[in-house]
């Protein structure tokens, strides 16, 4: 009986290791495959500037707060941030696991239960929004010019990611700083669909260069060097 138990544990551990190795190889290789590589260049006067922004782990999609296509102030209100500062120009959207977002402000706060729920897609999600006055391009911040038609598609994708696209539900009492807020969102985070997968899908929806599939930020940024 004991021998059978050890044998079972051995095969289980081997299976887990094999899965992790194949997962990591797939993540690296597939993320290098570019989609929409032939996207047409848009003249600045006819374009909407957006940004992809990474904190080293997580990617946000950053868009103008208001233009002739979309006024985000109708759904994401300055009054729902601590600063209530309305002199902002851009708003960043970042989808992710709700438990991780709300209860893990620092890596030291991460609990095993939160990590397991996020990894296996059994928890709910949230949208993190952050206001910016301006952004500076660099390794972790890339400016992209998109056509107005493609920007409309991006707006639709972001809006549909909220639990209630027409009236985003503010998660009161949670923020990382003075100019951000959280809202209820659709979907579940998992090993195969992360915050970066969402951002990558947003770029796909807007017909911009993106990875075929990725779960980490560099899988997006490697296509914008």
pLDDT score for 19: 81
At a CB cut-off of 8 Å and minimum separation 6, what does 137 contact? 51, 143
Is pLDDT at 12 greater than 80 in this prediction? no
| pLDDT tier for residue 164 given thresholds of 50, 70 and 90 | very high
d(CA 14, CA 27): 20
pLDDT score for 9: 64
For the chain, give the mean pLDDT. 91
At a CB cut-off of 8 Å and minimum separation 6, what does 214 contact? 27, 30, 31, 196, 197, 200, 220
- pLDDT, one tens digit per residue, over 38-70 is 988 899 989 999 999 999 999 999 999 999 999
Cα dihedral 78→81→87→92 (10° resolution): -90
Angle between helices 148-161 and 195-205 (to 10 degrees): 140
pLDDT score for 13: 75
Looking at per-residue pLDDT, the higher value among 97 and 4 belongs to 97
What would the mean pLDDT of 106-123 be, rounded to a whole number? 61
pLDDT score for 77: 96
pLDDT score for 123: 79
Is pLDDT at 2 greater than 60 in this prediction? no
| pLDDT tier for residue 74 given thresholds of 50, 70 and 90 | confident
Is pLDDT at 15 greater than 90 in this prediction? no
pLDDT score for 203: 98
- Cβ distance 51 to 142 under 8 Å? yes
pLDDT score for 55: 94
Is pLDDT at 6 greater than 70 in this prediction? no
pLDDT score for 126: 98
Q: What is the pTM of this model?
A: 0.91
d(CA 195, CA 193): 7
pLDDT score for 223: 97
Q: What is the DSSP string of the chain?
A: -HHHHHHHHHHHHHHHHHHHHHHHHHHHHHHT-EESTTPPP--GGGEEEEEEEESSS-EEEEEESB-SS-BGGGTS-GGGSSS------EEEEEEEEHHHHHH-SSGGG--HHHHHHHHTT-S-EEEEEEEES----BTTEEEEEEEHHHHHHHHHHHHHHBSSSSS--B-TT--SSSSEEEEEESS---SSS-HHHHHHHHHHHTT--EESS-SSTHHHHGGG-
Query: Considering the chain, what percentage of its residues have pLDDT values greater than 70?
Result: 86
What would the mean pLDDT of 28-45 be, rounded to a whole number? 93
């Amino acid at each position: 009986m004991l021998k059978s138990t050890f044998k079972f544990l051995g095969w289980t551990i081997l299976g887990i290791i094999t899965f992790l190795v194949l997962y990591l190889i797939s993540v690296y290789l597939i993320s290098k495959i570019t989609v929409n590589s032939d996207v047409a260049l848009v003249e600045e006067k006819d374009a909407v500037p957006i940004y992809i922004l990474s904190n080293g782990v997580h990617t946000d999609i950053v868009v103008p707060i208001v233009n002739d296509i979309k006024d985000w102030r109708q759904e994401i209100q300055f009054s729902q941030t601590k600063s209530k500062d309305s002199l902002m120009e851009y708003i960043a959207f970042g989808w992710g696991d709700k438990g991780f977002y709300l209860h893990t402000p620092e890596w030291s706060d991460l609990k095993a239960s939160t990590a397991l729920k996020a990894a296996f897609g059994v928890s709910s999600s949230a949208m993190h929004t952050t206001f910016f006055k301006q952004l500076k391009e660099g390794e972790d911040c890339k400016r992209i010019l998109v056509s107005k038609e493609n920007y409309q598609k991006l707006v639709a994708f972001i809006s549909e990611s909220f639990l209630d696209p027409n009236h985003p539900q503010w998660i009161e009492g949670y923020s990382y700083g003075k100019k951000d807020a959280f809202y209820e969102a659709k979907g579940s985070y998992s090993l195969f669909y992360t915050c970066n997968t969402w951002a990558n899908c947003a770029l796909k929806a807007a017909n911009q260069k993106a990875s075929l599939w990725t779960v980490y930020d560099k899988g997006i940024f490697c296509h914008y060097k």
